[in-house]
Amino acid sequence: MRIVDSPNQDERPPGVEIGLVVVHAISLPPGQFGGDAIERLFTNRLDPSAHPYFESVAHLRVSSHFLVRRDGALVRFVPVERRAWHAGASTWRGRSRCNDFSVGIELEGADDAPFEDSQYAALALLLTDLRKKLPLRAIAGHDEIAPGRKTDPGPRFDWNRLLVELARPLAL
């Protein structure tokens, strides 16, 4: 796992239990994969003149705990003990401010593109590891915690496949 520190983080509220994982999808520019634009966005270094779309997002101060690239490579931006700024205005099971009690995982992807085998495998391994360290009780899509505002990870994300990956025994 590569570590790229994002400044877009802060302390979680005292005594808050981290019980939720939020799955996101991102591509910059939209629908294009590869490159360093996501890392630049999460570290406040995205050049608004590098692509017309970047003008609309370069000012955002956002991050996630992790990014799973198309090839399954993992990047950590924020330690799970700290609050990443990934959920925005959000609610899960009656609780608002999901950033306070969740871990955000971005998949390099788009609503209209299938995700890669390597991404499902890497996500399952990451979730297995996180479950050993945190009292996780639920996993949700960004679209579930911010309905009407967000659509990711989108209809091409196969939740059943993720569950199968999570149930698969680890190879020794």
Kindly state the tokens that stand for 98: 């999901």
Query: Can 108 be counted among the known catalytic residues?
Result: no
3-state helix, strand, coil in the chain (%, to 5): 25, 20, 55
First to last CA, the chain: 20
Peptide bond into 29 cis (omega under 30): yes
| Residue type at position 15 | G
Helix (H) or strand (E) holding 162: helix 159-167
Please, which residues have CB within 8 angstroms of residue 50's CB and are 6 or more apart in sequence? 37
Cα separation, 106 vs 69, in Å, equals 9
Q: What is the DSSP string of 75-129?
A: EE-S-TTSEES-S-S-EETTEE-GGGGEEEEEEE--TTSPPPHHHHHHHHHHHHH
Catalytic residue among 11, 39, 106, 108: 106
- Catalogue the active-site residues: 106
